Amino acid sequence: MPWDKDQYPQAFKKLETPIRKKAIEIANSMISDGYKEEEAIPISIEQAKKWSENASKKEKNKMKQASNDRLQSEQKNEHSRPELMNKGQHVLTHEKGWAVQAETTKQPSAIFETKKEAISRAREIAQKKETHLIVHDANGKITEKTTYEIK
């Protein structure tokens, strides 16, 4: 379900209006690209705060005035997508099982009991984002590389 200016996660409630609307826009985009809500919410908040630090007053005012249609229809807008959306997905061993983690991130987006489950989720994300999948063995060695990039 896409969120809008009236219906959004509880975590967005304390954000200033332009930041909240930007977070909604980013979260909607991430969910349409295959992220789960629990993954998209904290990432979109962080990215919206970063956007706010760098946005001009004009950009903030424009976002403050943004309609529900804009928050949903501009999901694919290059400026609304976090940098991490273009990163490949890695499957790595983790103390609690197997982790799915985007390239260059420090925290996994999900942890699974089995490697098979982790690969399935990472493949799903990589396909929806049209990026790549890299699977590592328990020692960190790369065992599989698959690209889903459309050229």
Q: Distance from first CA to last CA of the chain, Å, rounded?
A: 30
Asked whether residue 4 is assigned to any structural domain, the reply reads no
For residue 65, what pLDDT is reported? 83
Separation between Cα atoms, residue 97 and residue 125, nearest integer Å: 19
Quote the domain boundaries for residue 113: 87-147
User: Can you point out the beta strands (E) in 40-148?
Assistant: 89-94, 97-102, 110-112, 132-136, 142-147
Tens-place pLDDT, residues 41-53 = 999 999 999 988 8
For the chain, what percent of residues have pLDDT higher than 70?
Answer: 85
Note whether 73 and 93 are same-domain residues. Answer: no
Tens-place pLDDT, residues 18-42 = 999 999 988 888 887 778 888 899 9
Note whether 91 and 143 are same-domain residues. Answer: yes
Asked whether residue 2 is assigned to any structural domain, the reply reads no
Note whether 101 and 43 are same-domain residues. Answer: no
| Full-model pTM | 0.49
Note whether 53 and 97 are same-domain residues. Answer: no
Q: Is the pLDDT of residue 138 over 60?
A: yes
Asked whether residue 7 is assigned to any structural domain, the reply reads no
Tens-place pLDDT, residues 59-108 = 888 888 877 665 654 444 433 445 556 678 999 999 999 999 988 777 78
Domain count for the chain: 2
Q: State the chain's mean pLDDT as an integer.
A: 83
Note whether 110 and 75 are same-domain residues. Answer: no
Separation between Cα atoms, residue 79 and residue 97, nearest integer Å: 35
Asked whether residue 8 is assigned to any structural domain, the reply reads no
Note whether 68 and 113 are same-domain residues. Answer: no
Asked whether residue 3 is assigned to any structural domain, the reply reads no
Note whether 77 and 92 are same-domain residues. Answer: no
Q: What are phi and psi of 65, to 5 degrees?
A: -90, -5
Asked whether residue 51 is assigned to any structural domain, the reply reads yes
Note whether 135 and 94 are same-domain residues. Answer: yes
Among 63, 81, 99, which residue terminates a domain?
A: 81
Asked whether residue 5 is assigned to any structural domain, the reply reads no
Nearest to 41 by CA among 16, 20, 66, 62: 20
Note whether 94 and 73 are same-domain residues. Answer: no
Q: What are phi and psi of 106, to 5 degrees?
A: -95, -25
